[in-house]
Each structure stands twice: as C-alpha cells, then as structure tokens.
Structure 1
Amino acid sequence: MNYPFYVFVICCFGQGIKPFVTLNHYDIPQLLEDRYGSWLSSEIQLDFSYFAQVCFEAFGDRVTYWTTFNEPNVFIYDGYLTGTYPPSRCSYPFGNCSYGDSALEPYIATHNLVLSHATAAEIYRKYYQEKQGGMIGIVISATWFEPYDDTPADRLAVQRSLAFSFAWFVDPLVYGDYPPEMRQVVGSRLPTFSVEERKKLLEGKLDFIGVNHYTTLYVKDCMFSSCSSPYSLGEASVYLTGEKDGAYIGEQTAMSVFFVVPRGMEGIVSYVKERYNNTPMFITENGYAQPTSVIEDSLNDTKRIEYHEKYLAVLSEVVRKGADVRGYFIWSLLDNFEWLHGYLIRFGLHYVDFQTLQRTPKWSATWYKEFLCEDNKI
C-alpha cells in the first residue's frame, strides 16, 4: 500500500477510530489489464491474494475490518456488461463498445472475483485472523425492489432482480454456487466451481456482508411480457423504474435513480438476513444526494437529516426483529468526486469548496453528532 494509506490508518488509530479498509474499489492497475485482461483471467486470483496478504501483514495489527471488494456488482455490470465504466467492454444489445461480450464476460469476471475473495479470505483466516482478531467480508450495492404490479410475474421478477444484482456475488461465498434463479436463465454460460473451489468457498469465507443501500425501485417483468427496455439488469429480463402511474416511488433526490423510500431498508436487510442465515451485516453506505449549489443552500440540508432519521428508524426496528446489523455508515463525511457524476452532486455531511478545499459542517453534521451522543441507539 502507499504512503497516504499508512498515514490514514495511523491517524484513525490515534483518534480512537477503527479503520474499515477496502482492498479494491472498482479500479485495477493498468499493468494487469494490459498483461492478461485483469478480471477476465484466473491469473488475477494470485495477484489479488498477494496484494491482500501484503496489506494484512503491514496493517493487520491496526485494522479490525477488511473488505475485499466494494460494490463488485457495479463495476462488473458497468465495466463488462454496459461498458460505461473501465475497461469499457460490452456488446449489443447491452451497450456499444469497441470490444467485449456482454453475454459471457461479466460471468467470467465475477467468477475470478469471487475466487479472489475466497483466496484472500483463506489467507487471512489461516495466517492472520487469530492473532489480529479482525473480520473479513465483502460489500454489495443493494437496491431494494418492489413489484410494479402485484402479479406473479412481477413478484418473480423481483426475485430475479435480487439474484442478478446481489445474490450473484454472495451466494457462492455462503452456499458454494451461483443463485438458482440465475442458472435457470444463463445456463451453461454461468461458470461452475470445481470440487476443490467449492470446498474453498464453503469454508466460511464471510465474517460479514456489507450493504450499500440508497434506494428502492419498481420491477416489471420482461420475460413473459414485452418491455420497451428489458435490459435493466442484464439477462434478468426486467425493467426497473422509480415511477408508476405518474408518481415517483418516493421523493426523488439529486441522483435520478435514488428515491427516498425508508421501507426499502427493512426490505433489503430482511432479505440478507433470511437468505444468508443472519450473517452479520454492516450498512456500509446510506446517504442523500444533494445538487451542487451555493454554499448557503448546501449547508441547510434538512432533507438529508429527514432522510437519515427515517432510514435509521426503520433500521432500528428491523434490528429489534433480530437482524444482526453490527454498524452503520453515512455516505459521506465529505462532499467528494462521485464517479460519473463528478462534482455535480454532494453526499457529504460537510460542505467542501472544491476550489479551496475548505470544509464547512452542514446542519446534518451537527444533527448526526448529537444523534450519536444520545443515550438510545440502534
């Protein structure tokens, strides 16, 4: 790891903050892409496990929580299905790229990613966990879905959507295979695990599941009925929308597909609880998108406060019902660069002047500080 990371860990530790470290967030060294195609080659498994071991060795005495991948479902979809993120590989009808195969490469890349997680977790368990006392998991972007119409077809479409967006990456790490909902659709193009790989996967490779939850969307079946755009989740054959009969599913935020639907928090947490035997969870991201505007308007972020109050209330209730949720992270501490949206939207509790980098607490920062100091917590 590089010097800034080392400084970050030391500073957190010195302030009584436990670092929650992600080993990979979307990007990959260009060298590995050029040498063997990164996630399209099984060779990535050895390189990623070596990288992970270097981090465990160097920082494991100060890092309690390790995440192998943040939102692999996002960079696999956008990198190998639609081509909107690097390495920009895709094919018709999912996207228009110079190279790639959307009907095959996303499954190959995910297969190597899942086995990379399993190998890194195996190394951590065998050589570091007992003496360092930490945990290792994976973080998934977790939209909740509701049927567009209360019909059997749309209810099945919800289950396919969850399988193609969430279970695809977690089922192998819990059950040793991909979701049956995907096998039924993808067939032989979905890779299989060898007996040795399955054994490795089933030897407890998840101490926790990270859930990045922001929004809820309607799902319309496109497998048994026609849709104008049936490629919202690749081969899941569904259409996703936040609008029905001229009304949004919830208040729209500055990010067009992010709506305020607090009940979605209960939906996704309950799904993870039931599907994965109540494996410990962290809500690793939850936040409200603001448009970039003059500082006076940005600081007065009452909508963000309302958002977190409502989502935390729902989370509190689902925890009381037995969900093993160990922690909650607001995205984000600071306004920052939001990928394809750049600096056009702001999630931070603190306003950042992108010219001077001066940071100013928003109303939500004060609210959250007071919330954390109250006696009654989740």
Structure 2
Amino acid sequence: MRVGIVCPYSFDVPGGVQFHIRDLAETLIGLGHDVSVLAPAHEEDGLPPYVVSAGRAVPVPYNGSVARLAFGPISATRVRRWLTAGDFDVLHVHEPVTPSLSLLAVLSSRGPVVATFHTAMTRSRAMSVAQGMLQLVLERITARIAVSALARRVQVEHLDGGAVEIPNGVSVAAFADASPLPGWPGVSGPGRGGAIGFLGRFGEPRKGFGVLAAAFAALAARRPGLRLLVAGPGEAEEALALIPAALHGQVTLLGMVPEARKARMLRSVDLYVAPNTGGESFGMILTEAMAAGTPVVASDLDAFRRVLVGGAAGALFRTGDPVALAALLDDLLDHPARRAQLAARGRAAVAAYDWPVVAARVLEVYATAIECSTGRVVPAASEEQIRHNT
C-alpha cells in the first residue's frame, strides 16, 4: 500500500505528534508498505529518507504551547506537488483543523482521507474564525481516528462526528531493553535518597516542572541523597532557578536527548514523574516510562488516569499540589515492593500500546477508508480537470 502521511508541525522539532508520525511511518515501512511523510522542517539535513520537507514553518501560540506551522500559497503548492508525485492509496493527515499542512492537504486532495486528532482542545480563536473552511475540511475526511477518549469527545461534541479511538503507540522493546546511565539510579532506601526523573519542556508552565521542583526541594530536606534527573529542551538556568541553590548539585540536566538516550534516562530513575497541570489528551511519556519498567507518578489528569488504568498502573497525585506529590514520592521511595508492583502493572498495561498492535488497527481504518472511496488520492484540480475533459 502507498501511504501519504502529513505532519502539521516541524518534523525537526521534538513533539508528541512528530514522534507518533515517525514511529507509525517506520512501523508501516517495516511491514512492507511504501510510506512518504510531508512535513515542515527548519533544517532538512538529518531528516529520515521517507520525509519530504515542505519548507520552514513559523512559531505560533497554539493550545497552550508553541507550534511551528506552515500555511499559505507556497505551502499549498508544495502539498499539491507531493500529492501528484505520491500516487497514494490513502492519505493520512494529523491534526487537520490546525492551520498548517494537514488542512491544506485535505483541501487539495480527493480520495480516501484518514485524519488523526491528537488534542482535546474544544475551541480556539483560529477554529472560530475559520469555521466555514473547517466544515469543508471535515466533509472531505473519509475516516477519523482519535488518540484518546478526550480527543474523541471533541469529535462528538464539537466537530459533528465520531472517531475510532486508537492510542499513541510505543516501541516497547526499545525501552525495555535499554540500560541505565552510568551511576544511576544510585542508593535508595528508607530516608536515604532515591532518583526521580522528568522529561519535557520545563519552561512550559503546563508541563508542571515548577510543581516537581517545589516537591523536590521539600523532599530533599528529609532525604539528603535524593537526586533529580531532567531531560528536555530549555536553558539550564531556567530550570535551576526553580530549585534552591543548595540543591543544584543534586540535579542533573541532560538537555535534549535522542530516543536511545531517552530510554536509558527512563531506566535510570526509581520513579518517573509527570506533574503536568493540563492540556494533555493522552500521555505518551507515561507509556514510554511504563515500557521501560519504571514506575510512574502522575498528576490526576483525566488523560493520565485513563493511561494508568485509574491508578492501578501508576500512582496519581492531586494536580498542581507539590505537597501531595512530595508525600507520595517519599512513600514510594521508602517501599521498593510497591514500586515493583506498579512497574509490573505498567508493563502489562503498555502491551496494548505496542506499535505493531497499534499499526494493525490503523491499517484496518485505511482499508475501510479505501473501501468507502472511489479511486486513489489525487490532487483536487486533477479531478476537476478529468471531469472537464469528460
């Protein structure tokens, strides 16, 4: 099968949607399918061979974060060229209501179109302004996928339709087989220390690093050997500013990490902490930590609660409460048997998110979309020309 996948965000900037598309594409290629991904990219060097660059994107505040998007006549022309060259059996766009390449691809094509919705955002200024165009986009989508129940709820309540719920995938073996970083996690035990980890954009308030920093400072007072391992983009000074200077020696900042090092980072801590305060529709980092066999502590967001099976596959604390987080971490660090139980339940739960399982479900949606359509994916103008000539 020839599959065209469209990413709305810069492929060379880390993000959950980009990782999802990368892993899906590589899984499908491994299964023998011919896959091409169209995406914006600031730097084309280093892109995977299956990615076609649509040029640079611009940073735009979007859904409580900053997304790098590509839109306009130049981007539309590049989309059409890619569609013409691709001769795809199915077009798979991600976040089609975001003003970027996915929206352009839907408007520029005819044929079987599958759309995946990642966010649980119910409304935005851009969606309100472009309501007419949005309706046209939705009408041209053959089948919809939502990565979570929250994202699916948006389809039902705000976008006039349902969606098949298929979660984000995770390469379970890649995380399970990773080895810890040298010297980690170190000494742990009742009152002795322990290692906790965080991965994400610590400068982005909704990621909750400030909550974790406050909990770490309080907990370190009674656990002198406590260490914090942090990975993700941002300036070190910005992260350390949230932590008392006396504790800076107990904090290790890895910066941006490639996938292999991410897996090692997750294997290097006694507990992985996801202190996010909102804006999450799934929780990919939770499944990655679960795949690594690391027990998870997460804020009690609905999306996280669902991934962690209501708290059975990971411990939950009151969102935004550093005191509650510190108390939970203290208790878990003192009880290795409970940590082991959480890790075992996490490994069992994450099996449903393994990429081969997820990709098989996506292929079923592709087959349904193709069956419901006539012909292959073609640029819209090509179809209009055919009608004119006939």
TM-score by structure 2 length?
A: 0.29
Of structures 1 and 2, the one scoring higher in RCO (CA 8 A, sep 6+) is: 2
